[in-house]
Structure 1
Amino acid sequence: MKQRHFDLLAIAGVFVAYSITIRFALQADVRGSLLGGVANTIPVVIFGAMVRRIILRRLIGKPAALQLLAHLPLCVAFSALSYGLLMVLLGLLFDGRGFSGFLVKPFSISGTAWQSLENVTTYALIAAMTYLQAQYRRHNMVPSAPAEAALVPEQLALAGNLGMRAAPDYAAVPVTPALEEPPKEPDDSRANADLSRYFVRIGDELRPIDLDSVVSIGGADDYAEVRTLSGKHLVRMTLAEFTKSLDPAKYARVHRSWIVNVHRIARAEPAGGGRLLLHMETGQVISTSRTGARLLRDRVI
């Protein structure tokens, strides 16, 4: 399900839940229940979207203690702003005078306490759903089988023929073969040829991967997942390291968590805010950042 569809369903669910609750808890008529549902849903949508944006862009990936500390002021701000906007909307919708001097009435002490608890609970649900959303985006970063591979450059594989040291799975360990004389600096064409092919190590076996078959590379901390036309491989290598070794004419870092093979983009569509949704040849959908979208738009003729 696309994110926008999920968001619309979530908004509809919040509205229905509030409307039903007001209908039976406060014995309101249908009109009052629907207006109360609207008044309670609007603050959740506005400030919930802001909270989700902050969590996705500013908190995820930070140390757990820092995230926990940041959630405290975020929760307070969400609760206070939602409470204030709710009072304004209730006055606007139920006072009967419209925008011309409607009356804003604060809740009673017990009502304020109940609304505050409700706002804190709502914030917790929004934060939890946001983390689940981020986890869903990166769920493929977890190894799905014991035979996951670690990526090593071709020259390391060749060095293995001379005696590669044993290394743990998922670790790319550089090995320098013993040579009688220092190796010569390769020219640019040779360097590009060396980087045109990588090997994956599955147990003690090395298998080649042609970089032209790579569709995308997703990063999470010190690991990356390389998706090819035929499968995917978990790699202990950062996106920054990949960016330095890949051909910029073929590969673009379209997000801080994604590198894509521009030759494997089936189509791109606007995603709002200057971003793009990239539909890859494998069916994978990747959302770019604004900077990544500009990089791709620079290639438009």
Structure 2
Amino acid sequence: MKRRSFDLLAVVGIFLAYSITLRLALHSDYRESLLGGAANTVPVVIFGAIVRRIIQVRLIGKAVLIQWVAHILLCAAFAFLSYVLLIVLLGLLYGGGPSGFVVKPLSSGGTVWQSLENVTTYALIAAISYLQAQSDHPVMPRRDNADVAVENQKASTAAVPDDLNAEAGHVVPTPMGNAPTESTQIRAEAAPSRYFVRIGDEFRPIDMDTVISISGADDYSEIRTLSGKHLVRVTLSEFTKSLDPAKYVRVHRSWIVNVHHIARAEAAGGGRLLLHMETGQIISTSRTGAKLLRGRVI
């Protein structure tokens, strides 16, 4: 299911849940139940979209302690702002009069219940944000350096198997022996050797030869280099058009890899491959991406 369709269904589900709850719990008529459901849904939609964006763009990938502290602060802000907007909307819907509308806080019991509800809603939004980010970036956990070193040593001494489609086979992508096409040559000649990223008020260069992989979601991409990672507002499609195709391959709709930093690859079933990068990172390819890499094996 596409994200927009999921979001639309989630909004409709939240609205119906609130409306039905108000109808059953407070015995409100249909009009009041629907208005109350709308008043409760609007804060969730507005502030939920904001915190999800913050989590996916700024928070995921940070240290665990930083994530915990950030979640506590974000949850508190979400609960407070949602409560304030709710009582304002309730004042507009139910407290209107000739001289304007009156904003009244909920009763003590109602405030506690609403706060608990907002905290629970934030927890659900955060969980969905992580699940969506994981589906956009299908990468397996990094293993320790000792295991990586042993596997790299084995890969360097192992011969490339004849049957590349065998499930237990290992393949090492290498440059193609065929002559490059004219379009490939043009892209290679036009590919910049450096990009610049903004760090504070400064622009610092990234040596593209040190790039291990580039992952993307929506309008942003995360560049992983030998020394760290950088978040940039460039789509994977834009990167694909400008990068040297002799070095970089888009192996998945969410991943571009530098073939010069692939330590080894292994069949993962269904025509896919698992790429073991030199840094220990493991990336799963799509079937199309696996075909591109198998086309480089000699």
Bucket of the pairwise TM-score, normalised by the shorter protein? 0.5 to 0.7
Which letter does structure 1 place at the counterpart of 2:101? F
Alpha-carbon shift at residue 203 of structure 1 (Å): 6.6
1:286 CA drift (Å): 5.6
Residue 35 of structure 1: aligned partner: 35
Whether 1:2 and 2:2 are equivalent positions in the alignment is: yes
CA distance in 2, matches of 1:204, 1:107: 64
Contact kept in structure 1, 2:240 and 2:250, CA below 8 Å: no
Q: How many Å apart are 1:253 and its aligned residue?
A: 8.8
**1:169 and 2:146 correspond:** no
- Secondary structure of 2:61's partner? coil
What is the distance in 2 between the residues matched to 1:253 and 1:210? 31
Count of paired positions: 193
> What does 1:110-189 align with in structure 2 at a 5 Å threshold?
110-139=109-138, 141-142=139-140, 168-169=150-151
The letter for the 2-side match of 1:83 is Y
Query: Is the alpha carbon distance of 1:3 and 1:101 closer, same or farther for their aligned partners in structure 2, counting shifts above 3 Å?
Result: same
Shift of 1:261: 2.3
CA RMSD of superposed structures (Å): 4.2
1:104-161 CA-to-partner distances (Å, cap 9, x unmatched) read 111111111101100100010111111111111112x239xxxxxxxxxxxxxxxxxx
User: How far apart are the structure 2 equivalents of 1:254 and 1:171?
Assistant: 36
1:178-217 alignment, distance < 5 Å: 206-210=172-176
Secondary structure (helix, strand or coil) at the match of 2:13 reads: helix
Flag the 1:225–1:16 CA change in 2: closer, same or farther, 3 A. same
Higher relative contact order (CA 8 A, sep 6+): 2
1:70 aligns with 2:70: yes
**Would you say 1:262 and 2:244 are equivalent positions?**
no
Deviations 1:4-59 (Å, cap 9, x if unpaired)?
11111111111011011111011011000100000000000111111111111211
Gaps of 5+ in 2: 142-147, 158-167, 185-210, 216-222, 227-231, 244-248, 256-298
5 Å-filtered alignment, 1:97-116, equals 97=97, 101-116=100-115
Distance 2:23 2:134 in 1: 36
- Specify every segment of 5 or more residues in structure 1 that has no aligned partner in the other structure, as ranges: 144-165, 176-201, 215-221, 227-237, 242-251, 265-279, 288-301
Residue in structure 1 matched with residue 80 of structure 2 by the alignment: 80
What is the one-letter code of the residue matched to 1:240? Answer: T
CA distance in 1, matches of 2:176, 2:154: 18
- Output the CA distance in 1 between the equivalents of 2:250 and 2:66: 39
| 1:62 aligned counterpart, secondary structure | coil
Q: Judge conservation of contact 1:253–1:259 (CA < 8 Å) in 2.
A: no
**Residues 20 and 33, structure 1, Cα contact 8 Å, conserved in 2:** yes
CA distance in 1, matches of 2:153, 2:136: 24
Equivalent residue number for residue 225 of structure 2? 240
2:137–2:254 CA contact under 8 A, matched in 1: no
